């Protein structure tokens, strides 16, 4: 399932080609928490204490995410245990916002590719600053707005190599303050209703992989090199499906993001050099929107900094 929704903007930065990994017992998913919002410098943008590459984004983030939400691809979401196939009841934690445009969707079950591409984020980012965008299936909008390169060639056959700078830029410019209003509700409530699963799944799988990611990434790269023309998801499923089975599980239906997909995502980010920038960006998102989750998983706090 891919997205076009107003979910919070960590996942915008790069695209989840196809991936997965992990290892963790089934965990009961906690309801998303509330964090005191950060001090703001410009509407919709928390203050940053570190240098950020590129040009600041000057658009209204409320317009960006409203645009995405109104044009969302609804098959990137699921509702209730019946629709989500939710083991352990994680889908029950998607809290209604009272806004029909959000609540009709349910829980977001796609990844970064769905968020950015199928969410039409590039076009919405440009529209919010009065510009028109071209094709939706590329990173050109981010490059135009940031003044930075988003990619640097390919690896492992067709997988893109991303740049740390574009991830750092997106985390600094495109994550709204939890208090900001979109369609009459707060960004925090939208996260609580829809995005919590994806953010936590990325964090949980990274926690499993982090200490061994050098070896795991080399093994993954070798498998791809030695099996030209074969779908790397075969390797990822065989290697990581059991390890990640307890993390917000979903059936592998061809569209939903699962633990083994996320493992592959992190392995590719390690290979293209963006792993640490992305982990920090994810940590920023979780500290701002989901501190309760981090408090229950203290081992993730240090690896997401």
Per-residue pLDDT of the chain (305 residues; tens, 9 = 90+): 333 333 433 443 333 343 333 333 334 344 443 333 333 334 445 444 358 899 999 999 999 999 999 888 888 999 887 788 776 678 877 888 999 989 988 899 999 989 998 888 999 999 999 998 765 567 899 999 999 999 999 999 889 999 999 999 999 999 999 999 999 999 999 999 999 999 999 999 999 999 999 999 999 999 999 999 999 999 999 999 999 998 999 888 877 899 999 999 999 999 999 999 999 999 999 999 999 999 999 999 999 99
Q: Which domain holds residue 96?
A: 40-303
Alpha carbons 62 and 179: distance in angstroms, whole number: 11
Domain membership of residue 8 (yes or no) is no
Domain membership of residue 22 (yes or no) is no
Q: Output the CA–CA distances (angstroms, integers) from residue 31 to 8, 28, 47, 190, 296, in the order listed.
A: 16, 10, 27, 13, 12
Domain membership of residue 15 (yes or no) is no
Domain membership of residue 17 (yes or no) is no
* Backbone phi, psi, residue 186, to 5°: -85, 160
State the CB neighbour count (10 A cutoff) for residue 72.
26
Domain membership of residue 21 (yes or no) is no
Domain membership of residue 58 (yes or no) is yes
Domains contained in the chain, number: 1
If DSSP codes are grouped into helix, strand and coil, which group holds residue 108?
A: strand
The whole-number pLDDT of residue 133 equals: 74
Domain membership of residue 255 (yes or no) is yes
* Backbone phi, psi, residue 229, to 5°: 85, -5
Beta strands in the chain (DSSP E): 40-42, 45-46, 77-78, 107-108, 151-155, 159-162, 181-182, 185-186
DSSP-assigned beta bridge partners for residue 154: 160
The whole-number pLDDT of residue 136 equals: 58
The whole-number pLDDT of residue 88 equals: 67
Check: CB of residue 188 under 8 Å from CB of residue 95. Answer: no
Is the Cα dihedral 153, 213, 259, 33 positive or negative? negative
Check: CB of residue 178 under 8 Å from CB of residue 289. Answer: yes
The whole-number pLDDT of residue 48 equals: 43
Domain membership of residue 246 (yes or no) is yes
pTM: 0.83
């Amino acid at each position: 399932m891919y997205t076009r929704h107003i979910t919070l903007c960590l996942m915008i930065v790069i695209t989840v080609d196809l991936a997965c990994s992990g290892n963790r017992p089934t965990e009961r998913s906690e309801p998303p928490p509330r964090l005191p919002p950060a001090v703001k410098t410009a509407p919709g943008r928390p203050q940053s204490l570190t240098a950020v590459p590129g040009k600041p984004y000057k658009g209204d983030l409320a317009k960006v995410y409203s645009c995405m939400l109104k044009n969302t691809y609804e098959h990137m979401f699921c509702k209730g245990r019946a629709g989500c196939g939710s083991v352990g009841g994680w889908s029950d934690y998607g809290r209604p916002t009272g806004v029909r445009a959000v609540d009709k969707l349910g829980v977001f079950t796609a990844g970064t590719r769905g968020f950015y591409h199928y969410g039409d984020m590039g076009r919405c980012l440009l529209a919010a600053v009065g510009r028109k965008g071209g094709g939706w299936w590329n990173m050109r909008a981010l490059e135009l707005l940031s003044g930075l390169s988003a990619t640097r060639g390919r690896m492992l056959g067709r997988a893109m190599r991303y740049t740390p700078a574009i991830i750092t830029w997106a985390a600094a410019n495109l994550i709204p303050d939890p208090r900001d209003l979109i369609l009459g509700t707060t960004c925090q409530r939208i996260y609580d209703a829809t995005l919590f699963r994806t953010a936590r799944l990325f964090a949980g799988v990274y926690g499993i992989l982090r200490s061994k990611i050098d070896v795991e990434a080399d093994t993954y790269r070798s498998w791809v090199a030695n099996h030209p023309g074969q779908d790397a998801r075969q390797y990822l499923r065989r290697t990581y499906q059991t390890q990640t089975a307890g993390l917000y599980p979903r059936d592998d239906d061809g569209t939903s993001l699962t633990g083994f997909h996320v493992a592959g995502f992190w392995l590719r980010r390690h290979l293209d050099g963006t792993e640490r920038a992305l982990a920090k960006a994810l940590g920023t998102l979780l500290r701002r929107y989901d501190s309760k989750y981090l408090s229950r998983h203290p081992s993730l706090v240090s690896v997401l900094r």
